[in-house]
Amino acid sequence: MSIHYQNILNYFDNRSTNASAESFNAKIKAFRAQFRGIRNVKFFLFRTHYNFCIILKSHNFWT
């Protein structure tokens, strides 16, 4: 508990958690699982870029 003392206090002081980061990681993981076994690397990189732009926009990284 002493290791996570600041994180615990941060939640009670600011009501902030890492839920948005966990959600972002879950979306990345789901995307990677969807494209296993793809053969066209150029298409995969295009889709990766396109989907990450959508994810970043939905998380208000670009406004």
* 46 in a structural domain: yes
* 37 in a structural domain: yes
pLDDT at residue 59, rounded to an integer: 64
CA 43 – CA 50 distance, rounded (Å):
10
CA 7 – CA 42 distance, rounded (Å):
41
Neighbours of 21 (CB within 10 A): 10
Q: Which two tokens stand for residue 16?
A: 């902030």
pLDDT one-digit tens code per residue, 25-47:
888 788 778 777 778 888 878 88
Number of domains within the chain: 1
CA 19 – CA 54 distance, rounded (Å):
18
pLDDT at residue 3, rounded to an integer: 79
Percentage above 90 pLDDT, the chain: 0
* 21 in a structural domain: yes
Angle subtended at Cα 36 by Cα 59 and Cα 21, rounded to the nearest 5 degrees: 25
Higher pLDDT, 1 or 3: 3
Local structure of 51: helix, strand or coil: helix
Confidence of residue 1 (pLDDT cuts 50, 70, 90): low
* pTM over the 0.85 mark: no
* 63 in a structural domain: no
* 22 in a structural domain: yes
